Amino acid sequence: MDVWLVSLEADPAHEPGDNNASVLSPDEKLRAARFRFESDRARWIRARTALRTILADYACLPPAEIRFVFGPHGKPGLATGGDLEFSLSHAGSWAMVAVTRGVPVGIDIERIRDNVDMSALLRRLGVTDLPEGPCNLFRAWNRREAMTKAVGGALLDSPAGNFGICDLEAPEGYSAALALQEHTPRIHYRSTTVVRTSTAKSALQPPLQIFL
């Protein structure tokens, strides 16, 4: 499976492509329009455009023709993607996309912030064995969120099943983790890749790869 690291900040050399919402669906465009702040709207558009660009390369479809279906708790899948599984997470200036075939996957990236009481949030989820230090607390949240996204469950429900969980390398000031259902990942980092959100397939760079 592959893990893509995506910059959500504007690139002066590619700004027209970075803000190109033409590949988004009408529903995605409506959602983008609801953002109060332009910076949040632009990052969300870049994340969704990047997701479509990446999935298009695997599904052999133009990005605009990617069609999503959603589970009871909002887990996305592809309407015509065969056994393709994916997960998207974004926070602040970065997003991560995990792609695999036939294995449910969840990924989570968070910006580590001092003004978030992560201990209280984890306790609300029923986590009692809390680690020490903000970085470790955010990683604990990453792992729980990744498991929840892998099964497509509700956040407050404890994820059921067996998971292979691993922490991922993330940009400075961020933490990230990945969960695979019923599989244990073996990680090989090929590169720390920035994927610009151009709709052209040639914009895709070699991903981080995780071998099952």
Residue 3 bridge partners (DSSP): 98, 208
- Residue 62, number of CB atoms within 10 A of its CB: 13
Confidence label for 160 from pLDDT (cuts 50, 70 and 90): confident
When pLDDT is averaged across residues 187-209 and rounded to a whole number, the result is 45
* Type and span of the H or E element at 62: none
Q: Is 3 helix (H, G, I), strand (E, B) or coil?
A: strand
Q: What is the pLDDT of residues 77-122, one digit of tens each?
A: 999 878 999 999 999 999 999 999 999 999 999 999 999 999 999 9
Return the structure tokens found at 143.
Answer: 């792992």
The pLDDT of residue 82: 83
Distance (Å, rounded) from C-alpha 145 to C-alpha 54? 22
Contact 149, 107 (CB under 8 A): yes
| pLDDT over 90 (residue 135) | yes
Confidence label for 198 from pLDDT (cuts 50, 70 and 90): very low
Fold of 2-211: Ribosomal Protein L22; Chain A (3.90.470)
Distance (Å, rounded) from C-alpha 155 to C-alpha 144? 9
When pLDDT is averaged across residues 12-30 and rounded to a whole number, the result is 72
Confidence label for 15 from pLDDT (cuts 50, 70 and 90): very low
**Higher per-residue confidence, 110 vs 183:** 110
When pLDDT is averaged across residues 43-66 and rounded to a whole number, the result is 92
The pLDDT of residue 196: 40
What residues does each domain of the chain span? 2-211
Q: What is the amino acid identity at position 54?
A: I
Distance (Å, rounded) from C-alpha 157 to C-alpha 98? 23
- Residue 20, number of CB atoms within 10 A of its CB: 17
Distance (Å, rounded) from C-alpha 165 to C-alpha 22? 36
Distance (Å, rounded) from C-alpha 149 to C-alpha 146? 5
User: ∠138-146-133 over CA atoms, to 5°?
Assistant: 15
| pLDDT over 70 (residue 124) | yes
**Cα four-point dihedral sign 126, 110, 22, 51:** negative
The angle, 0 to 180 degrees and rounded to 10, between the axes of the packed helices 38-59 and 26-33 is 160
Contact 8, 196 (CB under 8 A): no
Sheet holding 208-211, edge to edge: 84-91, 94-101, 2-7, 208-211, 186-188
When pLDDT is averaged across residues 139-148 and rounded to a whole number, the result is 96
